[in-house]
């Protein structure tokens, strides 16, 4: 088998982990690392220059999701946005509810799951909705489990492992009727599919631009006007008192530009990436036996393929493909130095062996037909060789 060398192409198929930044975004950010360095809270010229940049970016983020600029709170990233929505809601309701009740699902990102688990230890109660074999959360149970102590429902828009889009609109109809706020982790959806917060009916939505060619270390929480929320930690008056700390102006400028560009190019890029993903999955079906395409029968973001290659350790396949120049990720997650099956795939009903034999291939705008064909050329040989060696 050909080993990776200087001539081997490096193909990035891990865009759900992060994306590169568009060059025009980097160029726009650069002055804010240098001559435009004012603190946006300062009243003098330098500060007001920073404030104007924040205001412009806030409007750009809001425009991408159909919100008003004053409904956008800037944070350090998607994880903080999720924490602010969930912990902030619980804090806001502590005087009203002795034991706050939260509803989420079994397939959420750790930013939501671990936040809910931490709140359980502090006295909150959490109900975890199950999902079906295709990775769709069972919303039918939602109305019957909401009760007077329920302070929040938190669900993801699109799953980070399977790409499956969740029935958020159905959940919103129930939560609106019963007067319970709905938070949506939109981190794997915004920038990949059209998102309109009014059409979805959500009260809060988390966003992270490094999933759609913007900078890392910055995020936002959409909070519908009138939605009750308390700050998670103490400090200054920044972000209407809900997220203290001087704003990361360069990153926020890049965030806003990522939203502006995405709004212009989303339809075209969705088709481009979706066609590549379909070509990839068709090729895998035709060339590799004994596989599962998880979530393929449901609505998905157009860039994500979650494939179980049975009788092979997923990490071994990832490492072998990396040697050949292809960057993908495994469906298994590591915790405390111990390899464990993905909680998402286990919740979907896969057995632990199949869950650990799963790959996530996530495409981006820089990928080409040539990348996909090169991958399909080497994949069968790698699979065949590893199956001969595998103890599974």
Q: Residue 335 forms beta bridges with which residues?
A: 338
Q: Which DSSP state fits 216?
A: S
Q: Which two tokens stand for residue 337?
A: 């130095």
User: Which of the following is catalytic: 116, 259, 305, 334?
Assistant: 334
Burial environment of residue 315 by CB neighbours within 10 A (0 to 12, 13 to 18, 19 or more): middle
**Helix 110-121, helix 78-93: angle, nearest 10:** 30
| CA–CA separation, 163 and 59 (whole Å) | 28
Q: Which DSSP state fits 337?
A: T
Are 356 and 391 within 8 A, CB to CB?
Answer: no
Q: How many CB atoms lie within 10 A of CB 378?
A: 16
With a CB cutoff of 8 Å and minimum separation 6, the contacts of 228 are 89, 92, 93, 181
Are 159 and 295 within 8 A, CB to CB?
Answer: yes
Would you call 305 a catalytic residue per the annotation? no
Catalytic residues, which ones? Answer: 334
């Amino acid at each position: 088998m050909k080993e990776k060398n200087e001539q081997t192409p490096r193909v990035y198929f891990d865009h759900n982990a992060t994306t590169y930044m568009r060059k025009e975004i980097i160029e726009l950010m650069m002055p804010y690392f240098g001559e435009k360095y004012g603190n946006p809270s300062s009243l003098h010229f330098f500060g007001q220059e920073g404030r104007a940049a924040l205001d412009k970016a806030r409007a750009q983020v809001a425009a991408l999701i159909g919100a008003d600029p004053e409904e956008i709170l800037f944070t350090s990233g998607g994880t903080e946005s999720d924490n602010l929505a969930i912990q902030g809601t619980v804090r806001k309701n502590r005087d009203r509810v002795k034991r706050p009740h939260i509803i989420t699902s079994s397939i959420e990102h750790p930013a939501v799951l671990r936040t809910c688990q931490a709140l359980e230890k502090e006295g909150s109660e959490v109900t975890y909705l199950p999902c079906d074999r295709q990775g769709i959360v069972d919303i039918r149970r939602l109305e019957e489990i909401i009760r007077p102590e329920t302070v929040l429902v938190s669900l993801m828009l699109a799953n980070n492992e399977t790409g499956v889009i969740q029935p958020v609109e159905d959940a919103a109809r129930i939560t609106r009727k019963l007067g319970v706020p709905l938070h949506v982790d939109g981190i794997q959806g915004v920038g990949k599919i059209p998102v309109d917060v009014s059409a979805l009916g959500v009260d809060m939505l988390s966003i992270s631009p490094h999933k759609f060619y913007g900078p890392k270390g910055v995020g936002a929480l959409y909070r519908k006007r009138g939605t009750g929320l308390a700050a998670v930690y103490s400090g200054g008056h920044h972000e209407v008192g809900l997220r203290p700390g001087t704003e990361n102006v360069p990153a926020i400028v890049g965030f806003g530009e990522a939203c502006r560009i995405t709004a212009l190019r989303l339809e075209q890029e969705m088709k481009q990436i979706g066609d590549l993903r379909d070509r990839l999955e068709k090729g895998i079906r035709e060339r590799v036996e004994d596989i599962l395409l998880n979530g393929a029968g449901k609505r998905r973001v157009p860039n994500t393929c979650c494939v179980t290659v049975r009788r092979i350790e997923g990490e071994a396949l990832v490492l072998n493909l990396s040697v050949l120049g292809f960057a993908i990720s495994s469906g298994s997650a590591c915790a405390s130095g111990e390899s464990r099956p993905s909680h998402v795939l286990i919740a979907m009903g896969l057995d632990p062996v199949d869950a650990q034999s799963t790959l996530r291939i996530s495409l981006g705008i820089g990928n080409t037909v040539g990348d996909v064909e090169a991958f399909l050329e080497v994949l069968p040989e790698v699979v065949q060789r590893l199956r001969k060696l595998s103890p599974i």
